[in-house]
Amino acid sequence: MTLNQLTLQEALAGLKAGSLDISDLYRDLNDAIEKQKSYNIYLQLNPQAEAEAKQLQDRQLKGLPIAVKDNFCSKKLATTAASKVLENFIPQYESTVTERLQKAGGVIIGKSNLDAWAHGSSTETSDFGPSLNPRNPDYLPGGSSGGSAAAVAADLCLAAIGSETAGSIRQPAAWCGTVGLKPSYGRVSRFGVVAMASSTDSPGVLSKTVEDACLVLNTIAGPDARDATCNQEPAPDFTKFLDQDIRGLKIGLIYHDVQGVEEANEKLAQELAILSQLGAKIEKAQALDPHNAIGVYTVVQRAEVSSNLARYDGIRYGQDRSYFGDEAKRRIMLGTYTLSKGYADQYYNLAQKVRTQYLNDFTQLFKKYDVLVSPTSPGFAKKIGASANSAMFGELEDMLLEASSVSGLPGINVPYYRDPQTNLFFGANFVAPMWREDLVIKVADAFEKNSKWNTWRNR
């Protein structure tokens, strides 16, 4: 085993005990990054990483290397959002997330690849080429935080920062066999994140274990005066919710009868027996058909995109609007259409009403259940090239996540099956009411520690 394969928690313990040398870890990490170059996981590496790490040994994260999705502004490094429009753009300010991460002793090892502007679920819309799935390079890592998920799965970092609007943390985590924690909307500040859909954008963590996700979330969550949508209540210590008793916890299994999800659902039902054995009560629950959530998300997201991407005029920074890729053009224009006179009622206002229907449905479900669970993705990772010729690729792959995303709920992906032929994973998505990250952490941690599917806990 090489030192880059340690979990964040293991590396922290090693550094604390003096049994691990930070230089040795960076040596192994740099070797691994060099070897995996063809996977196109990082758009840019931080040349100062190791030097920075040595200065941070007295801080919480002790200089350990964290991958950061390239839609978080950081003063030192170019921030491109994987679009040619922002190629060579050097931000003049720091996002709250990267500021807090570095203050806590995290080192940005590199900026990870994503779908351009985070539009997509494959990384294939990146203007700098797709990333490959380290579990099997014939397949996609998912997206939009595909580079972050791949960086974790390939041990090219100890944890990663991603962002999710509807599935962009959890879906790539599922496809790459990692943990992906999407906090409640407003738990983590959006200040300095390249805006996509402002009413659902949620920064979060991709990691090797649930515990690692908590360690990173602890450093980035909490009030921020620079983001008015941020929860002004202090965030809890998320590690408090690890190793908890889940006896009596009520878990509703949703989307169990959705077409096209048969294999993932069958395996999930088997694996959830682990939670029953730990004393949780699991039963099938009936949630609102997720198909309409595709429409809601498509309309709301495009509308917000058309507004947010209006700022790219090539005057103050970046290139002009002719540099947008096909997917960004499609989304900006569809959003413009659904907001235009005569169509706003037919599309945008209707979508916001159906969004209310989903929120109400979750409110009802959470009267009966503490946590809801379903497969994260309808199936395994798709092959490289799969997103071509489908203007709706991402929306369909994220079908089981969109309802919870437009409702702002916290969710977490944990691996629950590995296909021995392809080495690809299924992931389970646990969802809880707004601000109840404690519940998803508690149940995901219990599942991870008692099942055999987490690569790092079962090596």
Residues near other proteins, by CB under 8 A: 89-90, 92-93, 185-186, 199-200, 225-226, 228-229, 231-232, 260, 291-292, 294-296, 298-299, 306, 310, 314-319, 321-322, 324, 326, 329-330, 332-334, 336-338, 340, 347, 349-357, 359-360, 390-392, 395-396, 406-408, 434
Least distance (Å) between residue 396 CB and other proteins: 6
Distance CA 134, CA 153 (A): 6
Q: For the CA atoms of the chain, what is the radius of gyration?
A: 20
Burial class (CB in 10 A: 0-12, 13-18, 19+), 455: middle
- Give the nearest distance from C-beta 295 to other proteins in angstroms: 4
Closest CA to 389 of 299, 337, 326: 326
Q: How far is the CB of 434 from other proteins (least distance, A)?
A: 7
CA dist., res. 424 & res. 386, Å (int): 16
- In contact, 376 and 254? CB cutoff 8 Å: no
Closest approach of other proteins to the CB of residue 303, in Å = 11
Cβ closest to other proteins, residue 324 vs residue 380: 324
CA distances to 43, 196, 245 from 233, rounded to whole Å, are 35, 25, 26
Report, in Å, the least distance between residue 273 CB and other proteins. 30
CB of 333 to other proteins, least distance (A): 5
* Length of the chain counted residue by residue: 459
Nearer to other proteins, 65 or 203 (CB): 203
Query: Residue 19 or 92: which CB sits closer to other proteins?
Result: 92
Q: Catalytic site residue 38?
A: no
**Pick the catalytic residue: 95, 122, 144, 405?**
144
Give 162 or 186: the residue with its C-beta nearer to other proteins. Answer: 186
User: Which amino acid type is present at position 50?
Assistant: E
Kindly tell me the sign of the dihedral angle through the C-alpha atoms of 204, 205, 211, 212: negative
Q: Which residues contact 174 (CB under 8 A, 6 or more apart)?
A: 142, 180, 375, 376, 377, 413, 415, 425, 426, 427, 429
Active site residue 144: yes
Determine which helix (DSSP H) or strand (DSSP E) holds 427, and give its type and residue range.
strand 425-431
Amino acid at 137: P
Taking residue 18's Cβ as centre, other Cβ atoms within 10 Å add up to: 7
| Given the residues 62, 69, 182, 208, the one annotated as active site | 69
Helix (H) or strand (E) holding 95: none
Q: Please identify, using beta-carbon distances, which residue of 36 and 163 lies nearer to other proteins.
A: 163
Query: 83, 126, 148, 168: which is the annotated catalytic residue?
Result: 168
**Known catalytic residue at 69:** yes
Smaller CB separation from other proteins, 177 or 290? 290
Contact 393, 122 (CB under 8 A): yes
Least spacing, CB of residue 162 vs other proteins, in Å: 20
Alpha-helical regions (H) of 142-280:
146-153, 170-176, 210-220, 262-271, 273-277
- The answer to whether 27 and 151 are in contact (CB under 8 A) is no
Q: How far apart are the first and last CA of the chain?
A: 10
Nearer to other proteins, 16 or 291 (CB): 291
Enumerate the active-site residues: 69, 144, 168
